[in-house]
Amino acid sequence: MMVNKNNRRIGQKWDIIYVKDMPREPKKGELNKQFNFIVERPFYLQTMMKSGRYLDRISNNVVLKTPNGRNTQVWYFHQQSRTVRNKYQNYSLNIQSNGRSNNLMVGGTNSRWW
């Protein structure tokens, strides 16, 4: 491990959490307070625009579409990976080009935040 001289920045500050005080992970149906999602509870993502369309999945692309009741429009919070997944094939929301794009897609789970 590389040690830098003390500069009092956030990268040199730590919290100590004793094992017995560590909160347990929320289970299915319980609220994850950090992300404010109920674990594995299905939901729709609806635009606030006048159209009221839903976030939908077509192939690996994410688009806005009229509500149609298909699993491609149903999403849920996955506790283990801390990602939002689509009910159809359980793919996670991803930002194209490893976060260097403004295009939202679905794909294999990657819990890295860009």
Query: What residue numbers bound the domain in which 56 lies?
Result: 43-108
72 in the Ramachandran plot: left (φ > 0), alpha (ψ -120 to 50) or beta? alpha
Whether 11 maps to a domain, the answer reads no
Higher pLDDT, 99 or 73: 73
Residue 72 banded pLDDT, cuts 50, 70, 90: very high
Residues 3-61: tens digit of each pLDDT:
566 676 777 788 888 999 988 999 999 999 999 999 999 999 999 999 999 999 999 99
Residue 2 banded pLDDT, cuts 50, 70, 90: low
Whether 114 maps to a domain, the answer reads no
Residues 92-114: tens digit of each pLDDT:
998 887 777 888 899 887 655 54
Its pTM stands at 0.76
Whether 26 maps to a domain, the answer reads no
